[in-house]
Structure 1
Amino acid sequence: MTIQYESIATQLKNNEQDHLLRWWDELLPPQRESLAAQIASIDFDLVQDLIALRDEDNPGVAADPEAVTGPADLVRLPQTDEEKNRLIAAGEQGERLLAEGKVAAILVAGGQGSRLGFDG
């Protein structure tokens, strides 16, 4: 393995994200470079600070799956001008809420849901 791989692997392991390198050996050199650049762009110190802040401000929030609200109503592809305007308004509101840090999303797939305490 290269020095670059070892450095990335250590950083990911220290942040419990070493699964990101699971398919490293299957990647072509340009793909490896792209993945390494993406990983290098992650500010793990900031991520850890944000996790600590979340846990400090909301003790137990991550451990309570019942505190999570359900999914939003389905928005179908617009057919009429009114529907197109509603879609644009929904997108603008969503972007505003994301920018204000008032919403977030989590995708639970495969066997991860039960490991994370989500049984629905």
Structure 2
Amino acid sequence: MDRRPSSPTSLTGYAYAALLLCALLIPGVALAQATNLPYEDGLATLRTSLTGPVPFIISLVGIVACGAMLIFGGEISGFLRTLVFIVLVISIIVQATQVVELLGGSWTGDVRHAVALGLPLGGLV
């Protein structure tokens, strides 16, 4: 008897058909949405810890120190210069939230609050 092995294309066709069948038979799994993702609590904690007066003062000192190092540092190596720039960028990122609030803007980070208050979303949704 001459038996030929099945071709890989027919196996992938069966796999796609099985996947489609599972998606049609179990729509709750296919369309499941999580209301609270597991990393949201950690990000909220990080945001609160970076928006207080202490991080603002630390980032201000970092900006002044990095600026002084770049201006009065003389000849520094490329690695140290890169580290100074990294500290400078992190300090500016930490201070950006405070600067935005100082200029009159605020962002709660959740579109649902803006919708509940009736605020214009400006293309966020």
Q: TM-score, normalised by structure 2?
A: 0.27
Larger relative helix fraction: 2
Q: TM-score, normalised by structure 1?
A: 0.28
